[in-house]
Amino acid sequence: MKCAVHDQTRPETVRVFIALAPPDHAKEELARELRPAYGTHPQLRWNRIEDWHITLAFLGELPVATVPLLRPPLAALAAGSRPPSLALRGSGEFDDRVLWSGVDGDLDTLHTLAADVRTTVKDCGVVLEERPFRPHLTLARARRGDRSSAHEIAEGLAGFSGLRWSAEKLHLVGSNAGRSSGPIHYRDIEAWPLGDGKPTGR
């Protein structure tokens, strides 16, 4: 399904991304492994467990009027996409400061879904940064000057291997990142159940 985003200058924007979310039992399993680190590294900016997600496409700041135009094509894409079977596994860090958990499982299906999401968004006229898809779940961010905490925790999580789970929904998410000095919060703008992989009529 194609859609057109009209070039309108609007003062109101929202920071948007499209993601998958692990089920509660998978998040709780990883949270148990992280519990000691919460105590030993309280200075990290820990993401809230309920906000953990796997970003498929980061859209950045969009005019509020653009968001409704994304809904029909993303709903159709979700309905025609096969849910990947995934697991949270291992850990690492970006730039010595961003702590993440890795993603394992049906990565071919996950990469296909991410590519389809990005194509759909581009068909709506949204310009995306050309960056490779590296599936991960961001756990925490170290403050500037702290270049050891994320590495220490990642080493402790290197052997973590979570149980398999099936992604259930495609989430269109808004965030307040960059708008305040407080913690980052996320909210579902909308979410659509993933289907059986059979194309829908569009």
How far CA 27 is from CA of 21, 40, 62, in Å, comes to 9, 20, 29
Of 6, 53, 111, 185, catalytic: 53
Of 41, 136, 151, 171, catalytic: 136
Name every residue whose Cβ is closer than 8 Å to that of residue 113 and which is 6 or more positions away in sequence: 20, 56, 81, 84, 170
Helix (H) or strand (E) holding 74: helix 67-79
Residues 70, 16: Cα–Cα separation, whole Å: 11
Name every residue whose Cβ is closer than 8 Å to that of residue 44 and which is 6 or more positions away in sequence: 99, 140, 141, 142, 143, 146, 149, 150, 153
Instruction: Examine the residue annotation and report whether 136 is marked as an active-site residue of this protein.
Output: yes
Instruction: Examine the residue annotation and report whether 25 is marked as an active-site residue of this protein.
Output: no
Return phi, psi of residue 201, to 5°. -70, 120
The angle, 0 to 180 degrees and rounded to 10, between the axes of the packed helices 67-79 and 107-123 is 140
Residue with structure tokens 């596994």? 89
Structure tokens at 200: 């829908």
Residues labelled catalytic: 53, 136
